[in-house]
Chains A and B, each alone.
Chain A
Amino acid sequence: MATKAAPNRTVRFRIKRCDGPGKPSYWHEFDVVPEKNANVISCLKQIAEHPVTASGQKVSPPVWDSGCLEEVCGACTMVVNGKVRQTCTCLVDVYAPNNGDTITLEPMSKFPVVRDLWVDRQRLFHNLTRIKGWVPIDNTYALGPGPKESPEKQQVRYKLSECMSCGCCLEACPQFQLETNESKWDDAFIGANAISQVRYFNEHQTGKQLKSDRLDTMSEKGGISDCGNAQNCVKVCPKEIPLTESIGAVGRAVTIHSIASFFSRK
C-alpha cells in the first residue's frame, strides 16, 4: 500500500484491559515507535517487552491471542478503533500514519474475556456442533468412494470453506449477543458463520445425509429466523464469504423443509 507513514513517529495505543473473567475493565495507554511495516501484533509485542504506560507507570504486560500471523486462524481478532478485524494484518502505517496518532484496541464484546484482549470463542465452535458441521463417514468398514461432486457445487463450497471461525461476523451482528451462561447457548442466535456452514455441508453429496437435522436446528429458537437482515456480517467478513447469500439459501431450504415436514412428519 502506498501510504506514506512518518518514520520514527510515536503511535499511542489505547488498550482496554481486564484482569480475568467477570473482572471490571479499565484502560491503559502506551506509546510505541513502530518498527518498519509494523502490524498491531508486532506493536503489542513491543509493549509486552516494555510494559510501561504513557504516564510512566509499570504495569503487567497486556495479554492477547494469535496464531498464524497471516489471517487464516482468526485467533487475533479484536475490535480496532471500534470495528472488528484481525490484528495480525492490521497495518500500523495505514491506521496511524502520523506522529501522535492513536489506535484503540478492545477485545471482542460478544465473547467472554479471558484476559485483556484475549477472548474465549468456545461458543462459536459449540455452534458448529449444533448444526452438525461435519460429513458423516464413521463406520466399522471402508465405505468406498463417495458420490461425485459437480464442479459448480465445488465452486460454491470452496468459497464457503474459507471460513476460519474468527467471529467477526458475530461481533458486528446486531442480533448476536454475548451469552456467558453455557446452558443458554442452544437457544441463542447462532450467527451468520454457522448458517453459512449449514449451506456448506448441505451442498456436499455425503454431507447432505444430515441435511434434515441441520434444517431442524435452523428452524428452532436461535436458528435462522432470528437473523434481522442487517447484513453487517457480510461486510466485515475478512474472507468475503457471501454470508447473506447463504442466509437467503438456507432461508429457502428451511421454508421448503418446514412445509414438507408439516405434511410428512410423523
Chain B
Amino acid sequence: MGTEPGFFKRHHFLLRRLHSLSGIVPIGLFLVNHLLTNSTIAWGMINSRGAEGLPPSVIEQVGQSTAMRVGTFQHEVGFINNMPFLILIEIALWVSIAFHAILGVYYATSGSPNVKHYAYQDNWRYSLQRLTGYVAILYIFYHVATLRWGWTWLTPTDEPWTYERASSTLAMALRGQMTGLSAGGMAVSLFYFIGITACVYHFANGLWTAAISWGLTVSESAQKRWGYVCTGFGAALMLLAWASLIGFLTIDIDDARQVEMSKHATTAATDQNALVEHLAAAETE
C-alpha cells in the first residue's frame, strides 16, 4: 500500500473550489438563461415582435396575447435548438451538474445540521442550502428525464415533449389535460413549484456563501451588502421562475398548438418534410 494520499485528499481544496465555481458557471449561468427563456411564456405578451411571422388569421383566432406569448417562447426555443454544437453544450452542462451534485451530496452528508438548538437565520440558510441541493437533484433528474429523454410514463400525459411544439407539450406534461389540472397534473405542477423554488434559493444563497469562500466579502458589513444584492437577485430570479410556471399553467393549449404549427411551418417552410407534415396535419384538422 502506498503512503501517497488518495486523489480526493490531494486535490481536496481544488475540488471544493471547482464545486463552488461549477455552481456559478456554468450551472448558475445556465439557470439564469433558462429562466429568462422560459418566462417569455408569461411576459412574451409585451414583446412587440412576439407574433412576428404568424399569419393574421392565426393571431385573430388565438388572440394577440397568446400569439405573442407562444410566439416569443417558440422563437427562443428555436434559437437554442439551432445553436451550433448544442450537444456539446448540453454534455458540458450535464457533466457539471453531475460533478456538482455528486460532490454536493458528499459535502452535505459530512455536516450535521443543528438548527434545533442553534436556530439562527444563518444556520437555517446553511441547512436549507443542503436540503434544496437534494431537492434540486430529484427535480432536475425528473425534469430532464421526462422532457429530454421522453420518459412520458412519469408524466400525466403520453405526449412527449418536442422542441417544435415546446409550449403545448410542456403545458400537457405539467397539467395532464387540455383544460384545468388532472390529479397527476396537480402533483407535477406542485413538484415543479417546489423544485424551481429550491433551485433559485440554492443558487442565490450559493452566490452569497461563494463570496465568503473565495474571500471576496471579508468584513461583516461587506457580507451584509452582498447579502442584499444576492437577495434582490434571487427575488428577481424567483419571479421569473414562478412566472414561467404560471405561464405554462395558464396558456390555452389548443391555441398554443395553432401558433406552434403555423410558426413551425413558416420557419421551416424550406424543409420539405416539415412542409409535408404540416400539410398533412392541416388536412386532418
Residues on A lying within 8 angstroms of B by beta carbon are 82-83, 172, 174-175, 177, 187, 219-221, 223, 225-232, 235-236, 242, 244-245, 247-256, 258
Task: Report the bound CA distance from A231 to B222 in whole Å.
Answer: 15
Known: A221-B12, A231-B122, A232-B122. A254 touches B215 (CB 8 A): yes
The residues in B between 95 and 135 inclusive whose CB is less than 8 angstroms from any CB of A are 107, 110-114, 116-118, 120, 122-123, 125-127, 129
In the complex the two chains form, what is the Cα distance from A39 to B263 in whole Å? 78
Residues of chain A within 8 A (CB-CB) of B13 are: 219-221, 223, 225, 254, 258
Determine whether the beta carbon of A175 is less than 8 Å from that of B215. Answer: no
> Whole-angstrom distance from the CB of B175 to the nearest CB of chain A?
39
Residues of A within 8 A of B220 (CB): 242, 244-245
Task: Offer 26 A-B interface pairs, CB within 8 angstroms, sorted by A.
Answer: A174-B113, A174-B126, A187-B9, A220-B12, A223-B13, A225-B13, A225-B16, A229-B122, A229-B213, A230-B122, A231-B122, A231-B123, A231-B126, A235-B120, A244-B212, A245-B218, A245-B219, A245-B220, A248-B212, A249-B218, A251-B213, A251-B215, A252-B216, A254-B13, A254-B215, A256-B215
Within 8 A of A (CB), among B125-183: 125-127, 129
The reply to whether B209 and A229 contact each other, CB–CB distance below 8 Å, is yes
Q: How far is the CA of A194 from the CA of B122 in the complex (A)?
A: 21
In the complex, whether B94 has a CB less than 8 A from a CB of chain A is no
Across-interface contacts of B110 in A (CB, < 8 A)? 175, 177, 226
Count chain B residues whose beta carbon lies closer than 8 angstroms to a beta carbon of A. Answer: 34
Q: Are B209 and A252 within 8 A (Cβ)?
A: no
Smallest beta-carbon distance B63→chain A, Å: 49
Whether, in the assembled complex, B17 has its beta carbon less than 8 Å from a beta carbon of chain A, the answer is yes
* Most chain B beta-carbon contacts within 10 A, residue among A82, A249, A251: A251
Verify if B258 is at the interface (C-beta below 8 Å from A): no
* Closest Cβ–Cβ distance, residue A168 to chain B (whole Å): 11
14 new A-B contacts, CB < 8 A, other than A172-B118, A248-B223, are: A83-B118, A220-B13, A221-B12, A228-B111, A228-B126, A229-B122, A229-B209, A229-B213, A230-B123, A232-B123, A236-B118, A249-B218, A251-B215, A254-B13
The residues of B that contact A226 with a CB separation of less than 8 Å are 16, 110
A229 lies within 8 A of B118 (CB) = no
In the complex the two chains form, what is the Cα distance from A235 to B215 in whole Å? 20
**A251–B117 CB distance below 8 A:** no
Q: How far is the CB of A211 from chain B (nearest CB, A)?
A: 15
Within 8 Å of chain A (Cβ to Cβ): is B217? yes
For A216, the closest partner residue in chain B by CB is B13
Contact A177 B112 (CB under 8 A): yes
Chain A residues near B125 (CB-CB < 8 A): 230
Contact assessment for B120 and A255 in the assembled complex, using a CB-CB cutoff below 8 Å: no
A258: chain B residues at CB < 8 Å are 13-14, 17
**When the two chains form their complex, are residues A230 and B126 in contact, meaning their CB atoms are under 8 A apart?**
yes
Of B14, B118, B126, chain A has the most CB atoms within 10 Å of the CB of B118
Residues of B within 8 A of A228 (CB): 107, 111, 126, 129, 209
Q: Is the CB of A175 within 8 A of B217?
A: no
List 7 tightest A-B contacts by C-beta distance, closest first.
Answer: A252-B215, A230-B126, A251-B215, A248-B218, A225-B16, A231-B122, A221-B12
A174 touches B114 (CB 8 A): yes
B117 surroundings in chain A (CB, below 8 A) = 82-83
> What B residues does A249 contact at CB under 8 A?
215, 218
How far, in angstroms, from A51 to B107 measured CA to CA in the complex?
Answer: 45
B233 at interface by CB-CB < 8 Å: no
| Docked pose: A253 CA to B214 CA in angstroms | 9
Contact among B111, B209, B222 with A175 in the assembled complex (CB-CB below 8 Å): B111
Nearest chain A CB to B105 CB, angstrom units: 14
Give, as a whole number of angstroms, the nearest-CB distance from A229 to chain B: 4
With a cutoff of 8 Å between Cβ atoms, the chain A residues found around residue B12 in the complex are 220-221, 223, 225
- Contact, CB under 8 Å: A251 / B214: yes
Please give me the residue from chain B that is nearest to A79 by CB atom: B117
Report the separation of the CA atoms of residues A231 and B223 in the bound assembly, to the nearest whole angstrom: 12
Across the interface, do A244 and B216 meet the contact criterion of CB distance under 8 Å?
Answer: no
Q: When the two chains form their complex, are residues A253 and B215 in contact, meaning their CB atoms are under 8 A apart?
A: yes
Q: Which residue of B lies closest to A253 (CB)?
A: B215
Q: How far is the CA of A56 from the CA of B117 in the complex (A)?
A: 31
Query: A228 CA to B122 CA in the complex, in Å?
Result: 11
Expressed in whole angstroms, the minimum distance between the Cβ of A57 and any Cβ of chain B is 29
Cα–Cα, bound, A2→B260 (Å): 73
Residues of A within 8 A of B126 (CB): 174, 228-231
Contacting residue for B214 out of A187, A219, A223, A252, CB 8 A: A252
* Beta-carbon nearest neighbor of B126 in chain A: A230
Q: In the complex, what distance in Å separates the CA atom of A83 from the CA atom of B123?
A: 14
Q: State the CA gap A225–B15 with chains docked (Å).
A: 10
Contact check: which of A175, A177, A242, A247 meets B212 at CB < 8 Å?
A247
Residues of A within 8 A of B223 (CB): 244, 248
Contact A174 B218 (CB under 8 A): no
